[in-house]
Structure 1
Amino acid sequence: MTTEYEVRLDRDRCDGIFACLVRDDRFAEAADGLATIEVPNDSATSERTAEMELVTTFDDDRVDAARQAARACPVDAISVSGVDGGTNTAEADDE
């Protein structure tokens, strides 16, 4: 079953610890030493980039991996939410 969700990466908060990389392989190390999101061609429905923020909407079955990456980030630079503006799904499976 696929789920539509949004992954937000605040690169300004990122310290380059890369705990996210081992939880979700869509996260990668960028040339500047911070995390970035690599988007497979068929899984993202939209992508927005601000100066130091990446926001990508996915429609796939990998929301749990994104949640794990968000929970693993020690500086809380990653958030995962439903595209309908719902609850932060990074914590949803803890309920």
Structure 2
Amino acid sequence: MSGPASYTVTVDRDACDGVFACLVRDPRFVEDDDGLAGIDADDAEAVERTEASVTATFADDRIDDAQQAAEACPLDAITVETAETPGVIDG
């Protein structure tokens, strides 16, 4: 039996306006120091932060939570992609 799928979650900091609908859908989303949505790195395999975005890679079974957070974002600032088949799942 294979383990959990690997996937990435990206927050487009330029698109984010601090609505924080994502925070109630997935507890890995947090408010960063700039008042925008960020990702708590504790459960991530890797996190890359730039001025324009923050991207975290996960290998767990919580992709549905990330997808719900992306769907809840009214500004489409969150994308979720699988590592096996790159492509936007939601956002």
Shorter chain as denominator, the TM-score bin is 0.7 to 0.9
The question of 1:71 aligning with 2:71 is answered yes
Partner of 1:33: 35
Please say if 1:13 is aligned against 2:15: yes
Distance 1:21 1:59 in 2: 20
Alignment of 1:47-86 (within 5 A): 47-86=47-86
Identity fraction in percent: 47
5+ residue gaps, structure 1: none
Query: 2: distance between equivalents of 1:32 and 1:47?
Result: 17
Moved over 4 A (4+): none
Aligned residues: 89
Output one character per residue of 1:26-45: Cα deviation in whole Å (capped at 9) or x when no partner. 001112211111122xx322
CA distance in 1, matches of 2:13, 2:77: 7
8 Å CA contact retained: 2:71, 2:90: yes
Gaps of 5+ in 2: none
How many angstroms apart in 1 are the aligned matches of 2:69 and 2:10?
11
Which whole-Å CA distance do the structure 2 matches of 1:32 and 1:50 have between them?
Answer: 13
Question: How far apart are residue 55 of structure 1 and its match?
Answer: 0.8
